[in-house]
Amino acid sequence: MITILRDTAREIFKTLKILSRNKMGLFGFVMILVIVFLSFIGPLIWPPELSANVADINQGPSQKHWLGTDFQGQDNLLKIVNGGKDIVTVAFLTGIVATFIAICVGSFSAFVGGRFDSVMMEIVNVWLTIPRFPLLAVLATVVKLNDNVTFALLLGLLDWPGLSRQVRSQVLSLKKRDYVEAATMLNLGAPNIIFREILPNMFSFIAIAMIFTMTHAIYQQTGLVFLGIVPYSGTNWGVMISAAERRAALFAPQAAASILAPIGAIVLFQLALVSFARSLDEVFNPRLRTSV
């Protein structure tokens, strides 16, 4: 047990040292940790305001309210802290679901080949021609999206086709490597070869693709919430944008902070994800890890 903990600590230290080489990657990693901490732990420390503050309605940034206040006089920073949990949860779950489906479809399609590959790629091509956001908007009115898990599953089921084609291309390239051909000759089985021999060499590509799937999920979730198609209560960032827009924040300069604050939070989260993705290739590169 002690040996496992020591090895784990050593690998974590190596990863942080590699991340430190890429300043933008390190910035993204730190910001993701900060946003996740504030989204899940922050509400326990800074609970949301439950009543309106008439004296502070639509105030700009100040020493008392760093990000200003909204049309109810509630602090925008507190609403940002208490509204990030849904966005972060749906983004991560969507990335995991979509990436898992894409890996299974793309890798098995490329590895098996033949008629199976042709049929699967035709299905993917047809799926890619469907406009996803309008379809998602229609499905959101039919399916009850009362929780983040259901919402993320729906997003994940719609976001995998493009990534599956990319995974297929990668597997077709790795399929010709000597170690894969040797495993095939030994008849180790398709699942074993794919998940033990091929996919470990695609970790950086898969991780980066998952992050970009997460950024797309953030746009989709925020858009649906903003349009009022997906009902959300509380202080979700999309709800904040929608409420500010309905209260004519776009036409009132003094209320600009109430719509800029949630937009800034979404931009910062996406910037953190994209910045972190820049350093993942170095993190998963075995030659770089052994050189640390």
Residue 286 has a pLDDT of 59
**Residue 240: inside a domain:** yes
Is residue 60 within 8 Å of residue 73, measured between CB atoms? no
**Residue 82: inside a domain:** yes
- Has this prediction a pTM greater than 0.75? yes
**Residue 38: inside a domain:** no
pLDDT category at 289 given cuts 50, 70, 90 is low
Looking at the 3D structure of the chain, how many domains does it have? 1
Is residue 84 within 8 Å of residue 139, measured between CB atoms? no
Q: What is the mean pLDDT of residues 213-235?
A: 81
pLDDT category at 94 given cuts 50, 70, 90 is very high
**Residue 179: inside a domain:** yes
**pLDDT at residue 160 greater than cutoff 60:** yes
pLDDT single digits (tens) 246-288: 777 777 777 788 888 899 999 999 999 988 887 877 777 655 5
Q: Which of 219, 268, 237 is nearest to 76 (CA)?
A: 237
- Domain containing 231 equals 72-291
Percent of the residues in the chain that have a pLDDT greater than 70, as a whole number: 93
d(CA 106, CA 286): 24
Tokens 């503050």 sit at which residue? 53
**Residue 236: inside a domain:** yes
Q: Please report, for the domain that includes residue 186, its CATH number.
A: 1.10.3720.10
**Residue 220: inside a domain:** yes
pLDDT single digits (tens) 177-195: 777 777 777 777 777 887 7
d(CA 290, CA 272): 27
Is residue 168 within 8 Å of residue 77, measured between CB atoms? no
161-170: burial string, b at 16+ Cβ within 10 Å, e else: bbbbbebbeb
d(CA 62, CA 236): 23
**Residue 8: inside a domain:** no
**Residue 15: inside a domain:** no
